[in-house]
Amino acid sequence: MKAKVTEQQVLDALKQCMDPEIPLSVVDLGLIYGIDIDEENNIKIRMTMTTPGCPLHNTLVRDVKRALNKVEGIKDVSVEIVWDPPWTPERMSPEARAKVFGARSAQVQTAPPSPTGYGARSLRFTIDLERSKPLKHGQFIRQEDGSLVLVNDLGQGFMVNDALLEFWNMCDGSKSINEIIDEFSLKLRLPRIELEGQVVNLVQQMLEAGLLKV
């Protein structure tokens, strides 16, 4: 008789899938709205995105399917994107909220919100964006199924997409955070102000994940 796949097995696999904009798992961000497992171990995931019309949602859906297809016993995986109820930061796990928002000073609390809509820009007040030069840490692994994984010194793996991998590789210790923001602005042909908050948050979260050093 086929062993029943458990919801915990599904959640453990999904914790390896990071949101394309910030390296926190889809579970910790509260993007998973439902998990259905039938008698044949077919899995149906109901999930949302942090913002409607996210251009990278197809990448995230693909990563979710890849992660679950590695779980022994799972037969088929389907993913439904839902928007009700709308995602808010309150859906994040306490650990994720602590990483993103942190214990902020009054100065940070009065800073304008970042363009991502949910990330705190506390890094601006703890690291000099002009002088600090992030250096990638850990190792990159391309798995047999083509998925991309960054692994820190603790052996924790984080599934990433091409954009996150490119960003990680840019952090070679030779560029300041401001220079990285400028380079991304030119590469993507977007105003610097639209990218600054996202890059700052990304640096902060990769530092927390042990994937960068400053």
Q: What is the pLDDT of residue 132?
A: 85
Strand partners, 213: 135
Q: How far apart are CA 152 and CA 146, in angstroms?
A: 19
Spatial separation of the C-alpha atoms in residues 28 and 17, rounded to whole Å: 10
How is residue 138 written in tokens?
């850990």
Task: Show the domains of the chain with their CATH numbers.
Answer: 7-81 (3.30.300.130), 102-213 (1.10.10)
Place of tokens 């390896």: 16
Query: Tens digit of pLDDT for each residue in 154-203?
Result: 887 777 777 788 889 989 999 998 888 888 778 777 777 767 777 777 88
Nearest to 155 by CA among 171, 135, 139: 139
Residue whose C-alpha is closest to residue 29's, from 47, 46, 54, 52:
47
Q: What is the pLDDT of residues 115-130, one digit of tens each?
A: 333 333 343 335 677 8
Ramachandran angles phi, psi of 80, nearest 5°: -115, 125
CB of 197 closer than 8 Å to CB of 116: yes
73-96 pLDDT, tens digit each: 999 999 999 888 888 878 888 877
